[in-house]
Amino acid sequence: QLQLVESGGGLVQPGGSLRLSCAASGRSLEYYAIGWFRQAPGKEREGISCISSSDSDGSTYYSDSVKGRFTISRDDAKNTVYLQMNNLKPEDTGRYSCAALRTRFGASMVCSIGSYDRWGQGTQVTVSS
């Protein structure tokens, strides 16, 4: 059974960087699209970055709030998807979760749907001085 574990969160100063990892076990991520979702206190959860499965179109998606600062990538040999976060801002604070969907849908579609096969437990990111 597929399981996802996020890591890499923590406390960082504005302008700093973090790299989040979404490590899979039980199944290969090769056939799964992966999305990163952020939920801040009092706000709706939003899909901030997604990447399609390795056997699909290879597309990526970024929300307007993170485009140009965040980069999503996957390393199928390590069965892990990463989210490199640069120039972090206080508004980036929230709990970051990854989710997997066994689909060949493009990344933008993956980030817009509400149903996923598996969720990780999330990792907290706090951006403050």
pLDDT in tens, the chain (129 residues): 999 999 999 999 999 999 999 999 999 999 999 999 999 989 999 999 999 999 998 899 999 999 999 999 999 999 999 999 999 999 999 999 999 999 999 999 999 987 899 999 999 999 999
Per-residue pLDDT, 13 = 98
Q: Is the separation of the CB atoms in 82 and 102 below 8 Å?
A: no
The rounded distance, in Å, linking the Cα atoms of 33 and 22 is 12
Residue found by looking up tokens 């399609």 in the block: 52
Q: Residue 117 burial (CB < 10 Å; 0-12/13-18/19+)?
A: middle
Sort 92 into a burial class: Cβ within 10 Å, 0-12 / 13-18 / 19+.
Answer: buried
| Cβ–Cβ < 8 Å for 96, 83 | yes
User: What is the pLDDT at residue 113?
Assistant: 87
Q: CA-CA distance, 81 to 61, in Å (whole number)?
A: 14
